[in-house]
């Protein structure tokens, strides 16, 4: 679709998206509810400690109140390397439960705006863009993980990494490559399962775009330069958090879990079919599920 013919709907669409977000956030913003479980049992104390340490001029890298001391800088779940979350946590004098929820929910809104911008850049209609952004807000991927705050923060950076990657490969401008590397680096610095999966998605998207434009040497060199700059930027941002995590990793008890136990309940390879055919095995209703290990659901 010609960019000049694309309807100028972005501003109105973002405004409507904010309204949708406010309506969906009513339980937290108006009814006084909080996002429970791990959000408050684990992640709130982590971010609270980091924010209070910075506010008082102390280092947040070491927490003396956990066991005999705990290297917060080595734990990605401390959110030390999540810039927006950390900045917002420093605004109030003391971060409350409600403010913690606001930090998480505003990340969802910002990520949804990124989806909207990506849809507009792809030439989608206003309705399609708003639908995609709304699904991003509180669809299954987000709604099922609200208590796992770092995963939601990771999730919110992905649309901007994807949008910048598209622009970098299409325009071949190094500014976009650096923007992609910055967004992807911050996203990956959270070092959780979602960061891993979304990093694979970005790699797959880049490979498809490069291969779809042909195998000419000139094209491969130009695209390779863009990807090298973007990847280099991402690795620079990842270097410190990844190094800190690797220093602490040998002390993890996960290394003592036998391989047989770790892979006792994996997804069967046939489950990959659901990537192409929605609800292929009747996944939406467990009682009708007929795929691999279906007998376990009937016990």
Q: Which pLDDT does position 9 carry in this prediction?
A: 62
Coil, helix or strand at residue 71: strand
Q: In sequence order, what are the beta bridge partners of 63?
A: 70
Q: What is the pLDDT of residue 291?
A: 74
Q: What is the pLDDT of residue 7?
A: 47
CA-CA distances (angstroms) from residue 195 to 76, 107, 161, 235, 258?
Answer: 11, 15, 12, 14, 25
| Cβ(178)–Cβ(230) below 8 Å | yes
Q: What residue spans define the domains of the chain?
A: 148-248
| CA neighbor of 176 nearest in space, from 216, 206, 136 | 206
Query: What are the CA-CA distances from residue 147 to residues 14, 17, 143 (Å)?
Result: 26, 23, 9
| Predicted local confidence at residue 268, as pLDDT | 75
State the average pLDDT for the chain.
89
| Sign of the torsion formed by the C-alpha atoms of 145, 151, 154 and 158 | negative
Q: Give the three-class secondary structure for 70.
A: strand
Give me the residue label for tokens 């992640």: 43
- The model carries a pTM of 0.86
* 258 φ, ψ (degrees, to nearest 5): -60, 150
At 293 the pLDDT is 63
The stretches in the chain having pLDDT less than 70 are 1-9, 286, 292-299
pLDDT of 96-141, one tens digit each? 999 999 999 999 999 999 999 999 998 888 899 999 999 999 998 8
């Amino acid at each position: 679709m010609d960019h000049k013919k694309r309807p100028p709907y972005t501003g109105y669409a973002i405004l409507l998206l904010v309204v949708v977000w406010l309506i969906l956030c009513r339980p937290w913003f108006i009814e006084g509810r909080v996002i429970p479980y791990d959000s408050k049992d684990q992640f709130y104390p982590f971010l609270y400690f980091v924010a209070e340490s910075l506010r008082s001029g102390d280092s947040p890298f070491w927490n003396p109140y956990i066991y005999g001391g705990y290297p917060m800088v080595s734990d990605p779940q401390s959110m030390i390397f999540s810039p927006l979350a950390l900045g917002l946590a420093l605004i109030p004098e003391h971060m409350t439960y409600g403010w913690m929820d606001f930090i998480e929910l505003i990340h969802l809104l910002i990520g949804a705006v990124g989806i909207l911008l990506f849809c507009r850049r792809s030439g989608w209609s206003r309705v399609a863009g708003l639908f995609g952004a709304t699904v991003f807000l509180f669809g299954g991927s987000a709604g099922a993980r609200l208590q796992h705050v770092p995963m939601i923060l990771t999730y919110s950076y992905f649309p901007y990494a994807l949008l910048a990657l598209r622009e970098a490969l299409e325009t071949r401008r190094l500014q976009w490559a650096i923007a992609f590397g910055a967004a992807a680096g911050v996203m990956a610095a959270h070092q959780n399962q979602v960061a891993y999966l979304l990093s694979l998605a970005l790699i797959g998207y880049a490979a498809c775009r490069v291969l779809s434009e042909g195998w000419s040497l000139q094209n491969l060199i130009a695209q390779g330069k863009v990807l090298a700059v973007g990847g280099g930027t991402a690795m620079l941002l990842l270097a410190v958090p990844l190094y800190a995590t690797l220093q602490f990793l040998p002390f993890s008890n996960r290394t003592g879990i036998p391989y047989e136990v770790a892979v006792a309940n994996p997804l069967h390879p046939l489950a990959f079919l659901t990537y192409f055919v929605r609800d292929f095995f009747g996944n939406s209703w467990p009682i009708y599920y007929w795929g691999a290990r279906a007998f376990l659901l009937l016990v």
